[in-house]
Every structure is written in structure tokens, then in C-alpha cells.
Structure 1
Amino acid sequence: MRVLDRVLTRLRDRGDVWRARKEEIARWTLDRPGEASWVDRASAPIIGLPGRSV
């Protein structure tokens, strides 16, 4: 945890790091179809894990 805290503190203190939320990253990606990388994936399989289904 100490190392993670140190990394996040350094990133926060830098002026050239973009701290973006998932919606901002999605918008940036959708606005730049020629620049962004795309990965087409199939749906994740449904497995029978123990526990209550939602």
C-alpha cells in the first residue's frame, strides 16, 4: 500500500498527467477512432460460482 500511495501521490503532483474518469476515457476513445486501440471480445462466459444469484 505504501508503494501505491507513493505512486499515486507522484502522479497527482505532476502537471502533465491526465486524471480521467471512465466516462472521459470512453468519450476520448470514441472521438478518436483512428488513434485509439480497439479489441473485439466475446461476452464473458457465465460460470456457476457459489453464492446467491442477483
Structure 2
Amino acid sequence: MHTRRTVRELRDKVDKYRAMARMTTDPETARRILELTDELEQQARDIERGK
């Protein structure tokens, strides 16, 4: 269960940060936020796969 909760929390962060990236007017900041969301999504996938 801990794993599922961790994955859910990571994906919640991804959703939150993607929304922030859409709201920001600075393209560089938006790009960095989206890079972070990609990393968080990859972490969630790795946890699901047991890596």
C-alpha cells in the first residue's frame, strides 16, 4: 500500500506542477517545471515497476 500511496502522491505533484507551468508567463520557468514533472512521472513509473 505504501508504494501505491507514494505513486499517487508523485502523480498529484505532477498534476499540480503542470497546472503551475500553464499559469506562468515566463517560458524558461515553464520549461523547467515541465522538466521536473517528467522526472517525477518517471520516478512514479519506476516505483510501479519495482525499480
Structure 2 length as normaliser, TM-score?
0.28
Query: Which structure has the greater CA radius of gyration?
Result: 1
More helix by share: 2
